[in-house]
Amino acid sequence: MFEPLRKGVIGRALDKGILEFEAHDLRNYGLGRYRQLDDSPYGGGPGMIMRIEPVVNCVRDIQKQHREGRAIILSAAGKPFDQKKAEKLAKLDSIIMICGRYEGIDARVADVLDAEELSIGPYVLSGGELPAMVVIDTVTRLLPGVLGNADSLQDESHMTQLDAAELEYPQYTRPEEFEGHKVPEVLLSGNHGEILKWRKSQRKKKG
């Protein structure tokens, strides 16, 4: 499921050794003859819940190798993941992301592992793998040496050092005109002061 990480900017970060990534199969920590991972919820209700032991045992095994590995649970009910959070995570040595399936994970996992719960948005996916990749991608492009040109980070949407976390201004490239739609005149003027002013005026305020 994590193959998409091998492409593009994140793929190059892997090649350069700036990012290291391991996927661990919880099934290896399943319980009993059938390597069971899930069970029905206490109190009744539909669906299955991921059991605590396989998750905790797996994370603890990983933490033996990565002592500083902070555990994060991907959860639709978690705190919203945003650029500010990404900047904080980018400072950590390693993170362990726990991907749920079924109806989610036994709530005690968060307490036992002192794990933070993060949501990538107000909608429900069928598993935590895509959300984990969203976090990996967002965090990795903040790591030094990942984007070719350091400037390409500076101007971007949501960067928190910008005023009020503004969004990026509209960008254009060739041709100057397509089916009557023209590139704004000011961008062709060569007047850097005016271009800067125009771009500032075009930043959409968030919210």
Q: Which residues bind ligand SAH (CB under 6 A)?
A: 74-77, 99-101, 103-105, 119-121, 123-128, 131
Instruction: In whole angstroms, give the CA distance from residue 106 to residue 86.
Output: 25
> In this chain, which residue has its C-beta nearest to ligand SAH?
100
Which residue's CB is nearer to ligand SAH, number 74 or number 115? 74
Is the CB of 115 or the CB of 146 nearer to ligand SAH?
115
* In the complex, minimum distance from the CB of residue 32 to ligand SAH, in angstroms, rounded to a whole number: 22
Shortest CB 170 distance to ligand SAH, Å? 29
Nearest distance from residue 101's CB to ligand SAH, in Å? Answer: 6
3-state secondary structure of 95: strand
Q: How far is the CB of 43 from ligand SAH (least distance, A)?
A: 14
Burial of 179 per CB tally in 10 Å (0-12, 13-18, 19+): exposed
Q: How many CA atoms lie within 13 A of 81 on its CB side?
A: 25
Instruction: Yes or no: say if 50 and 58 are a contact pair by the CB < 8 Å rule.
Output: no
Q: Which is nearer to ligand SAH, 9 or 107 (CB)?
A: 107
Nearer to ligand SAH, 139 or 146 (CB): 139
Cα angle 56, 58, 62 (rounded to 5 degrees) comes to 115
Q: Beta-carbon neighbour count of residue 9 at 10 Å?
A: 12
